Amino acid sequence: MELSAETAGRYLRHAYAQMLTAADRLGEELVNRRPHGPGTNSVAALIVHCAAVAPWWLGHVALGDPTQRDRESEFEATATIAELHALVAASLAASMEALRRLEAGEGSDGGGRQFLLDGDASDAGVVIHVIEELFQHLGHIDLTVDALTA
């Protein structure tokens, strides 16, 4: 059994759609607010982070593409709702292209695969890790929304 780009993409789109629904629900007033101060993340920062996570793992780690990612700044980011929608659209487009390339057999070791579950360095292992990360952070987003709207 193989994990197709189409199936993986369906899960990425679903996770991102739920993230954006949460941001839309919060609105401009709350999307950048940290529910319990500087030690917590805003919904916007979590979405910015997720928009970088998928292309980084799929493009850089799985395909060996160069990257300019600054992980630390992702958690300090602020954005408007429109900017989040645009960022997610760009991330999804880059991720879908990477998934198609992986499906075509272009995978290489860009480093980082050693951190995958039980050392599974396969392309499918990277893809599943991305899906896992997006849904884990979607849970963080849901908790943040709950804290901000309680």
pLDDT in tens, 72-108: 999 999 999 999 999 999 999 999 999 999 999 998 8
Distance of CA 128 to the CA centre of its chain: 12
- Calpha distance 5→93 (Å, rounded): 12
DSSP 148: H
Distances (CA, A) of 114 to 80, 87, 110, 117, 122: 36, 28, 11, 8, 10
Taking residue 96's Cβ as centre, other Cβ atoms within 10 Å add up to: 18
* Composition of the chain by helix, strand, coil, percent to 5: 65, 0, 35
Task: Report the candidate in 91, 111, 95 with the shortest Cα–Cα distance to residue 103.
Answer: 95
pLDDT, average across residues 3-20:
97
Instruction: Report pTM.
Output: 0.94
Residue type, 63: L
Contacts of 139 (CB under 8 A, 6+ apart): none
pLDDT at 112: 73
Averaged pLDDT, 114-128: 85
